[in-house]
Amino acid sequence: MTRSDYKEIIIELSGSYNISNVKAICSSINLEYPKKDMYIEVSDERVLLYLNRLDVEAFSAYLKQAGSAEPKFSKKLIQSISGIGSYGIKGRKRIFAGFNKERKVSNRKEKEKQRIETGTAGDSIFSKENSAVPPRYLNKIICEDSEVFLKKLPDNCVDIVITSPSYNFGLSYDNHHDAAVWDGYFAKLFAIFDECIRVLKYGGRIIVNVQPLFSDYIPTHHIISNYFMDRKMMWKGEILWEKNNYNCKYTAWGSWKSPSSPYLKYTWEFIEVFCKGDLKKRGDAAKADISAEEFKQWVVAKWSIAPERRMKEFGHPAVFPEQLVERALKLFSYREDVVLDPFNGVGTTTAVARRLDRNYIGIDISKEYCQRAERRLSNISKQISFFE
């Protein structure tokens, strides 16, 4: 291997380090790790680390013992490695050099464009001319049927839709029993989504949290995804919301210790992400508010977030957690964007949008839920005023 096969890190040694201890630590590392993965050159002035691939977590654990004689240097070494933002993944190891070589394709951008143009969204006729939300509807909670209200909004006026429609599981919501015949359920849902697509800006995103109805063997997430693709929306990706909920019964709707009808347990839900017209959303880079560490963690499309525990407090049987909405907004929108939730419930989406300096429109047919959403917004406003 040549030096071009490594990522180089330089650590300057000052008087604050015991050079003998540093050299001993570096020698120990070179003995412990194969040269094809990493090796270290050390002098009295500096340490030069050559990185190809490394299990960073295991290396940190190793260094706690091997580097105990010079903990300040060990900490600096780990910080330098962890601070590298660009790398590949293979098993438990980060690949720091050459990880993108095999991904290189000649005329890649042109080929991507051709695939998009000939794919499911290739012949879309979405207008690129965006408009503004009428001021009387901006930053408001609307108590109305979303299918009816959304017709009042102009085309291409909303930046992002984030929502979690009722799952049709049989839960009791205010003014609505969640157990409709499936044809009727999807007909109403898709009528509302048709309006969401219409009011979404060119390049805007629709993010839907959904869970299949396992007892009825209805793959809701696939049905909804197929609907959006039929409407020429571009599939951006699917996020697994890992809830770590292992409490469901082993024999629910299934068999015990028998191949006759085993029930598969799912500890996660699905978050489907679609774009209108363009995978890229243009905006002011200065209004992006996601940190480098958040970005690196959240683009890994498995989010481990505990379910909302305050159902009784909110008086709603199915509230998604604020952290889920925060990640979606920071990853897929800019500050001052307009956020729409057509199934706003008790206002999780609108409360987080307000806290993150987004504009919002929250719609729900329940007067009681809308009142609770208003109270959450009032509390958020008080908190913001306190810290300003």
- CATH number, domain of 371, equals 3.40.50.150
What is the structure's pLDDT at 291? 94
What is the structure's pLDDT at 206? 98
What domain range is 58 assigned to? 3-103
What is the structure's pLDDT at 302? 94
Strands 200-210 and 158-163: parallel
Low-confidence ranges of the chain (pLDDT < 70): 100-106, 108-109, 111-123, 167-180, 214-215, 246-253, 308-318, 381-388
Q: Do both 188 and 246 map to the same domain?
A: yes
**Residues 6+ away with beta carbon under 8 Å from 55:** 92, 93, 94
Eight-class DSSP state of 236: E
At 191 the three-state DSSP class reads helix
Tens of pLDDT, residue by residue over 79-115, are: 999 888 888 888 889 999 877 665 555 676 676 666 6
Q: Do both 124 and 165 map to the same domain?
A: yes
Q: Do both 48 and 137 map to the same domain?
A: no
CB distance 75 to 91 below 8 Å:
no
What is the structure's pLDDT at 387? 45
Q: Do both 313 and 251 map to the same domain?
A: yes
- Dist. CA 172–CA 315, nearest whole Å: 11
What is the structure's pLDDT at 172? 47
Domains identified in the chain, total number: 2
CB distance 133 to 359 below 8 Å:
yes
Closest by Cα among 42, 38, 40, 41 to 19? 42
* Domain closes at, from 38, 70, 103: 103
What is the structure's pLDDT at 175? 55
What is the structure's pLDDT at 377? 92
Q: In what helix (H) or strand (E) does residue 173 lie, and over which residues does it extend?
A: strand 172-173
Amino acid identity at 204: G
Per the structure block, which two tokens stand in for 4? 């071009």
CB distance 246 to 200 below 8 Å:
no
* Domain closes at, from 51, 71, 103: 103
Long-range contacts (CB closer than 8 Å, 24 or more residues apart) made by 298-303: 298/327, 298/330, 298/331, 299/331, 301/237, 301/238, 301/239, 301/240, 302/239, 302/240, 302/242, 302/268, 303/239, 303/240, 303/241, 303/242, 303/271, 303/327
Q: Do both 128 and 98 map to the same domain?
A: no
What is the structure's pLDDT at 121? 62
Q: Do both 214 and 274 map to the same domain?
A: yes
Q: Do both 156 and 305 map to the same domain?
A: yes
CB distance 65 to 28 below 8 Å:
no
What is the structure's pLDDT at 306? 84
At 46 the three-state DSSP class reads strand
Q: Do both 286 and 369 map to the same domain?
A: yes
- Dist. CA 43–CA 166, nearest whole Å: 64
Q: Do both 166 and 117 map to the same domain?
A: yes
What is the structure's pLDDT at 29? 93
CB distance 40 to 47 below 8 Å:
yes
Q: Do both 156 and 99 map to the same domain?
A: no
Q: Do both 319 and 179 map to the same domain?
A: yes
What is the structure's pLDDT at 386? 44
Q: Is the dihedral of CA 180, 184, 190, 192 positive or negative?
A: negative
Q: Do both 175 and 42 map to the same domain?
A: no
- Dist. CA 103–CA 98, nearest whole Å: 10
